Chains A and B, each alone.
Chain A
């Protein structure tokens, strides 16, 4: 079965990944092969079959509405690439 073509540039942008020209070319061909291979699932009769999102049949897992201690500020800031005045700092946000 013919597979869909993958627009690697578009998908990489959705995934916020800069790809080099080499990577783009390699992925284009490798992912093309992989997509050809996964077409196999199209041949399976799934009429009336419910999708499985969880491997277990569990429902209604709730927690009580109680507060708990959070993370100490020094631990948070020690992990932050950039911070100032207890805030995480990022460059300009283009909306």
Chain B
């Protein structure tokens, strides 16, 4: 065939069901695309071709035996932060060298039960800490639209392999924007489900009260399909919620009649790149044409969302990452004389600078004397941010906003100044703090040819609404079907 790697998940499912191709052929095309492209992009950390082919053949055999499954034989890429039995799970870090996952994350298990196969692990900012994938211990991933630019992060590898047709779809995780922002930077679709919608069991924790697993896909329909498989309560995750899992695929309509969409005036402020704003404004117009009523809403605590996020997230991270100590699994530094040295050296050599920075910040904001001024106060501001959204959703069904203030920037541009990097998360962290759902869909390009993402935010467990908006928008545009030249040259 030669171009099965360009299919969406739904197209692949159709092909497989109709016998138009086999899973093995699909995987072969992905492997050749990777061979052609990934030397430049560096989206994958690991892809065991032989094993992937063996699993694909297994799926093909199963199909012949009459097995069915919503994703039977569909190859997926997985962010290096999810546990998949028998695979390494390094979280973009040296500290997990030598660790092999002995269990499946619940989301993985549910996809596997529908027949999906997990063919490769994608690059990421170490432990999800970053917005550019430059904080990977294994080197940066590059943006398929311009290899001098970052793919966003932390799920930059997942976004890049989907955008470059090296994967049909990928899983990522979003703590403060880590699915939505790389999806925007790479021109693919990314969904952060509401907190509690998808089990976190098996997702290596960065900030436990914020983390969610989400799909990065070529269109909204695929995001709906993957969410539908992964969603639902899990007895292994106390924070997974019993709320009804809707028929997300059915929610993907083609018009927006009767919908009220909110525009947060607090998101259209200084610092928003004009080309990004122009693309967003055009997308809003399109939604209006599709029948939506657009109203202005206010999210007054937006300006304190980043401080709040960086206190809450780093505090939780400082505890979550304490377990990486060289005793039970992973990397241990050589030459330690006593246990304290094992800890201090292992962690010094095993963690990269951004992780260390956040551990120190998080330890500080929890430490005696500062706990109330920073941590407790941030938790209270978090309440206010949550209320902002609750109030806004009283007057609208979903909110339209930019995903990030800029399109992808050049590698190295923000590495020397962590604070500048953090400020780029301004439009994604509020939704994370509020625990609501958010979708990023391609909505145009900058004059430099870099993709721009439109963010659709919905209330907690309102995934159907954001999927409906995103799907209707995509059915009237072709931004999501554009592919970077790089992929076209190498992959087809």
- Which residues does A use to contact B, with CB under 8 Å? 4, 6, 8, 11-12, 14-20, 23, 26-27, 30-31, 33-35, 37-44, 46, 49-56, 58, 61, 63, 71-72, 75, 78-82, 88, 90-94
CB distance from B231 to the nearest CB of A (A): 14
**Please, which residues of chain B bring their CB within 8 A of the CB of A16?**
322, 325, 340, 343-344, 347
Assuming the A-B contacts A41-B381, A53-B379, A90-B339, are A17 and B98 also in contact, with contact meaning beta carbons closer than 8 angstroms in the complex?
no
A11 to B422, CA, bound (A): 21
Q: Residue B102 contacts which of A35, A43, A75, A82 (CB distance < 8 angstroms)? A: A75
**Interface contact B373-A79, CB-CB below 8 Å:** no
Q: B351–A17 contact, CB under 8 A?
A: yes
> In chain B, what residue has the closest Cβ to A17?
B347
Count how many chain B residues have C-beta atoms less than 8 Å from C-beta atoms of the other chain.
Answer: 72
A46 to B301, CA, bound (A): 12
Q: Can you name 30 A-B residue pairings with CB atoms under 8 Å?
A: A4-B373, A6-B364, A11-B364, A14-B367, A16-B344, A16-B347, A20-B348, A30-B419, A31-B360, A31-B361, A34-B361, A41-B304, A41-B308, A44-B384, A46-B384, A50-B380, A52-B382, A52-B433, A56-B196, A56-B241, A79-B328, A79-B329, A79-B330, A88-B327, A90-B339, A90-B342, A91-B341, A92-B339, A94-B339, A94-B340
B356 in contact with A34 (CB, 8 Å): no
Q: Mark B129-144, 1 if CB is under 8 A from A, else 0.
A: 0000000000000000
Give the shortest distance, in Å, between A32 (CB) and chain B (any CB): 10
Closest to B353 in A: A23
Known: A16-B340, A18-B348, A71-B102. A30 touches B357 (CB 8 A): yes
Question: In the complex, which residues of chain B have a beta carbon less than 8 angstroms from the beta carbon of A61?
Answer: 238
Residue on A with the closest CB to B382?
A52
Q: Which residues of B contact A23 (CB under 8 A)?
A: 353, 356
The reply to whether B359 and A15 form a contact with Cβ atoms under 8 Å apart is yes
Q: Within 8 Å of chain A (Cβ to Cβ): is B434? A: yes
B112 interface contact, C-beta 8 A: no
Other than the known A50-B383, A56-B195, what 18 A-B pairs have Cβ atoms closer than 8 Å? A6-B360, A6-B364, A15-B322, A16-B343, A26-B353, A35-B361, A37-B306, A38-B374, A41-B311, A44-B381, A50-B380, A52-B379, A55-B434, A56-B196, A63-B235, A79-B99, A79-B329, A91-B342
A-binding residues in B (CB < 8 A):
98-100, 102, 195-196, 209-210, 235, 238-239, 241, 301, 303-304, 306-308, 310-311, 318, 322, 325-332, 336-345, 347-348, 351, 353, 356-357, 359-361, 363-364, 367, 370, 373-374, 376-384, 386, 418-419, 422, 433-435, 460
